[in-house]
Amino acid sequence: MSVKLVSVVLCGGSGTRLWPLSREQYPKQLLSLVEDASMLQATVARLQERQLPEGLELLPPLVVANEDYRFLVAEQLRQMGAGDARILLEPCGRNTAPALTVAALLEREQDPVMVVMPADHVIGNMDSFRAALEVAVEHAAQGRVVTFGIVPTAPETGFGYIRKGMLRERGAHAIEAFVEKPDQDTAAAYLASGDYLWNSGLFVVRASVWLQQLGRLQPEMLSACQEALEAGEFGSDFVRLASESFAACPADSIDYAVMEHLPPDVGVVVPLDARWSDVGSWGALWEISDKDEAGNVLLGDALSFGSSGCYVRSGHRLVACLGLQDLVVVETADAVLVAHKEQLQSVKDVVSYLKREGRPESAAHRKIFRPWGHYDSIDCGSRFQVKRIVVNPGASLSLQMHHHRAEHWVVVRGTARVTTGDKSILLSENQSTYIPLGVVHRLTNPGRIPLEMIEVQSGSYLGEDDIVRFDDSYGRHQE
């Protein structure tokens, strides 16, 4: 009998411990931290039909993401050739149990086995992962709820643990208990006993089984998720949940809501030894990255002289390290982090401080992505701002106007169609135009290559909220 299989990728979280690279508006799951592909792309690619055992039919992946990331997620899926993937948009975060529930409700007609994976995990040994997945899918197809337990390699105090019980057929164990993050001595005892696994946050369960167990254990959550989906907006490649209904849903994790309450014949754990990491900090990235002879990880234009055990990442300029030990140095266009490895858990405190002070570095990079492309604020002063704008082929900015600023546009590469009022003109390289304050205008790239422009804004107020939208191709609300 053929079993349908679908990857459910949970693309939530902000990754504050990976600041300044991970930001609120561009979190770690959208970044390329370990390989050329982003963490989201690597997770979606983890299940490939040609590498699955016979009898498994792979359905298009389902990505559950915050609605603020809709276009970023869609673009990354398009880039990797996963245009058939569906995107389920959450208006607010309610933790992993509601996210899985709305995914199961969306998939209930075909009732596939769902492979539930956070978008910000790394798996280094795919052969081991596929072998464990085959075991997990077999148990899930029989009506069990399966989680993967990572075989521990150190007395880690930052993870929860699972105490494995009786061995079932084909390597799955009953779950004796879920254990909270231990202190150092307790973690060492767990490691020595061989009876404990790290709690991975990876799950395999049939859609109908999850809904049955959730309805038994958390009926209020199931009801709220059903209401949010039924009242949601269904687009060609996305589903947007109804805001009010989903906000009223109880927030809880998969573990707390269901896994910890399952009878021993339903909840099982499959050990996974596949060089797994949740990439929860810069220290975790140092652990899994290739190092030089002195134990340094050097990325970008980074140099080391007499340094050891360091993680150095340069994004925009030369970073030279002299005689440093066990430091993390991360350089971006607008911020630099320098921290000792023993203090990395406090990076989130820096982000909290920046938020309290209203600093933009907590939320966004200097380069801002939009559905049509991106822009980079190169320079600014009291009454001017200079941006580098890149518009994707065929894309168009909204029809808009500004109350407080005028704009000068200079085409650097490609072709621009500029609409002002009832007039439309084409501009090519080295040509420019002027958009007076208060004039309705639109910018379009009619060509086959990216349009690159320099924009010079001038006026009394240059904030991004000075936009009145009259028409938008991407359904965005007026700012």
Give the model confidence (pLDDT) of 264-321 as tens digits: 889 999 999 999 999 989 999 999 999 999 999 999 999 999 999 999 999 999 999 9
Q: Are 339 and 347 in contact (CB under 8 A)?
A: yes
Distance CA 13, CA 280 (A): 11
Domain with CATH 3.90.550.10 in the chain: 3-277
Q: Are 215 and 230 in contact (CB under 8 A)?
A: no
Tokens matching residue 424: 């439309």
**H/E segment holding residue 126:** helix 126-141
pLDDT beyond 70 at 1: no
Predicted confidence at residue 479, as pLDDT, reads: 43
Picking from 270, 317, 290, the residue whose alpha carbon sits closest to that of residue 134 is 270
Give the model confidence (pLDDT) of 318-372 as tens digits: 999 999 999 999 999 999 999 999 999 899 999 999 999 999 999 999 999 999 9
Domain with CATH 2.60.120.10 in the chain: 367-471
Distance CA 288, CA 310 (A): 13
Predicted confidence at residue 13, as pLDDT, reads: 78
Mean pLDDT taken over the chain: 94
Better-scored residue on pLDDT, 166 or 254: 254
pLDDT beyond 80 at 469: yes
pLDDT beyond 50 at 189: yes
Predicted confidence at residue 477, as pLDDT, reads: 59
Q: What is the mean pLDDT of residues 65-92?
A: 93
Q: Are 462 and 385 in contact (CB under 8 A)?
A: yes
pLDDT band, very low/low/confident/very high, at 49 (cuts 50, 70, 90):
low
pLDDT beyond 80 at 478: no
Q: Enter the pTM of the model.
A: 0.90
Better-scored residue on pLDDT, 310 or 55: 310
Choosing among 1.10.1270.20, 3.90.1150.10, 3.40.50.300, 3.90.550.10, the CATH entry for 3-277 is: 3.90.550.10
Q: Are 123 and 276 in contact (CB under 8 A)?
A: yes
Predicted confidence at residue 166, as pLDDT, reads: 87
Domain 367-471 top-level CATH class:
mainly beta
pLDDT beyond 70 at 228: yes
Q: What is the mean pLDDT of residues 206-216?
A: 97
